[in-house]
A and B are shown apart, each in its own frame.
Chain A
Amino acid sequence: MSKDTSIHVSIEQAKLLVKYLEADQQNKADELIAEIQSPIQTALFEEIGKLTRELHNSLNNFHVDSRLNDLATADIPDAKERLNFVIDRTEEAANKTMDVVESIFPVVSNIQQQINNVNPLWHKLMHNELDVAEFKVLCRDIDVLLTTTEKETSKIHGLMTDVLMAQDFQDLTGQIIRKVIDLVCEVEDSLINMLTAFGITSKQERSNYLPKLGENLVEGPIVNLGNRKDVVSDQHDVDDLLSSLGF
Chain B
Amino acid sequence: MLSPEGVLEKNMKVLVVDDFSTMRRIIKNLLRDLGFTNISEADDGNTALPMLKAGDFDFVVTDWNMPVMQGIDLLKAIRADEKLSHIPVLMVTAEAKKDQIVMAAQAGVNGYIVKPFTAATLSAKLDKIFQRLG
A residues lining the B interface (CB < 8 Å): 91, 94-95, 98, 102, 215-222, 230-235, 238, 241-242, 245, 247
Contacts of A222 in B (CB 8 A): 94, 96-97
Q: Quote the shortest CB–CB distance from B132 to chain A (angstroms).
A: 11
Identify 20 residue pairs between A and B in the complex whose beta-carbon atoms are under 8 Å apart, listed by A's number.
A91-B21, A94-B22, A95-B22, A98-B29, A102-B29, A215-B70, A216-B103, A217-B99, A218-B65, A221-B96, A221-B115, A222-B97, A231-B97, A231-B98, A232-B97, A233-B96, A238-B96, A238-B101, A241-B98, A242-B101
A219 touches B112 (CB 8 A): no
Contacts of A217 in B (CB 8 A): 95, 97, 99-100, 103
B26 touches A98 (CB 8 A): yes
Contacts of A98 in B (CB 8 A): 22, 25-26, 29
Q: Mark B88-106, 1 if CB is under 8 A from A, else 0.
A: 0000001111111111010
Contacts of A221 in B (CB 8 A): 94, 96, 115
A232 touches B98 (CB 8 A): yes
A230 touches B98 (CB 8 A): yes
Q: Which of B73-121 contact A (CB under 8 A)?
A: 73, 94-103, 105, 112-115, 117, 121
B interface residues, tally (CB under 8 Å)? 28
Q: Which of A102, A216, A233 contacts B100 (CB 8 A)?
A: A216
Asked whether B72 is an interface residue with its Cβ less than 8 Å from the other chain, the reply is yes
Q: Which of A91, A215, A230, A242 contacts B97 (CB 8 A)?
A: A230
Q: Quote the shortest CB–CB distance from A209 to chain B (angstroms).
A: 18
Q: Quote the shortest CB–CB distance from A20 to chain B (angstroms).
A: 80
B residues lining the A interface (CB < 8 Å): 20-22, 25-26, 29, 64-65, 70, 72-73, 94-103, 105, 112-115, 117, 121
B112 touches A238 (CB 8 A): yes
Q: Quote the shortest CB–CB distance from B23 to chain A (angstroms).
A: 9
Q: Which of A91, A95, A219, A233 contacts B95 (CB 8 A)?
A: A219
**10 further interface pairs, Cβ-Cβ under 8 Å (given A91-B21, A221-B115, A230-B97):** A95-B22, A216-B72, A217-B100, A219-B95, A219-B97, A231-B97, A232-B96, A232-B97, A235-B113, A241-B98
CA distance A142 to B27 in the complex (A): 37
CA distance A235 to B123 in the complex (A): 13
Q: Which of A215, A230, A242, A245 contacts B99 (CB 8 A)?
A: A230
CA distance A230 to B101 in the complex (A): 11
Q: Which of B95, B99, B105, B114 contacts A235 (CB 8 A)?
A: B114
CA distance A97 to B22 in the complex (A): 11
Contacts of B21 in A (CB 8 A): 91, 95
Residue of B nearest to A216 (CB): B72
Residue of B nearest to A95 (CB): B22
Q: Quote the shortest CB–CB distance from B78 to chain A (angstroms).
A: 16
Contacts of A232 in B (CB 8 A): 96-98, 101, 114
CA distance A217 to B100 in the complex (A): 7
The 7 tightest CB contacts between A and B, nearest first, are: A221-B94, A94-B22, A247-B105, A231-B96, A232-B96, A216-B72, A217-B100
Q: Which of A233, A234, A245 contacts B105 (CB 8 A)?
A: A245
User: Which of B26, B99, B101, B105 is packed against the most chain A CB atoms within 10 Å?
Assistant: B101
Residue of B nearest to A102 (CB): B29
